[in-house]
Amino acid sequence: MKVNAIGILIATASFVALQGCSGSTPRERAYAVPEDLCDVDISNGAYASLFPPGKSVKKIGMDPYEDGYLPAGGLCTVYVDRDPAIRVDTLGSRDRESGGGPIAPGIDAYLEERGFGLSITDSELIEEIPYEVRVWKNFAAVHIPCAESSGMDYTGMNVSIDLRENVDRDFSDDLKEIIEPYALDRIEMMGPGVCDNA
């Protein structure tokens, strides 16, 4: 009789646990999708899929200067409910070895310099000329050559959108559409003479 009672208790506990799991509702986005991504204006409709469910959203890092221009390098993180969801990184490149930034242009050198732990062979090459654009499942990067070397000695600029800490799904289709226009807008907001590419 004791065995049956224990069996009934275990079965009841399992049933209650399963009901709790199946009765839970999927999380929703209770915050408004921002009108900008790390201070670059965006079309909410095109970028909404990058923002995960949650209650609140906050950006930290890479604030614009007093004149409104964005820094030429650095990291900005968008947090949803205090968890990192989207990271935007920018770094200038140089054709020769000099202080700061990759010593060579291109996404491979950029990945190594920033220590992202990604392999170029795992990416999909979307475009090679005039810009190198590569996309992974949850990461995208673009290298844009500067038309002429700036006062900062940049001959190119790298911009990436990192979703590796976001929800576990394939963002590659969304990233293919937005990484290049986003990077061009971001570089333009750095101001004249940083990396003019027109």
pLDDT in tens, the chain (198 residues): 455 544 444 444 444 344 444 444 457 999 999 999 999 999 988 999 999 999 999 999 988 999 999 998 889 999 999 999 999 999 998 876 655 556 788 999 999 999 999 999 999 999 999 999 999 999 999 999 988 765 677 889 999 999 999 877 899 999 999 999 999 999 999 988 888 876
| Alpha helix (H) residue ranges in the chain | 2-22, 44-47, 107-114, 172-188
The alpha-helical segments, DSSP class H, found in 62-144 are 107-114
Judge contact between 159 and 182, C-beta under 8 A.
yes
Choose among 49, 57, 53: nearest CA to 26.
53
pLDDT given for residue 147 in this prediction: 84
Compute the distance between CA of residue 30 and CA of residue 105 in angstroms, rounded to an integer.
Answer: 41
* pLDDT given at position 194: 87
Alpha-carbon distances, residue 109 vs 14, 25, 101, 132 (angstroms)? 52, 44, 9, 12
pLDDT value at residue 181:
96
Residue 40's pLDDT is: 95
Cα–Cα distance list, 14 to 7, 19, 25, 38 (Å): 11, 9, 19, 46
pLDDT for residue 6: 45
Name the strands in the sheet holding 124-127, side by side, starting at the edge strand that comes first in the sequence: 57-60, 74-80, 83-93, 156-162, 139-145, 132-135, 124-127
**Torsion (CA) 61, 65, 70, 73 in degrees, nearest 10:** -60
- Specify the pLDDT at position 132: 97
In this predicted structure, what is the pLDDT of residue 193? 84
In terms of Cα–Cα distance, which of 137, 147, 135 is closest to 177? 135
In whole angstroms, how large is the CA radius of gyration of the chain?
22
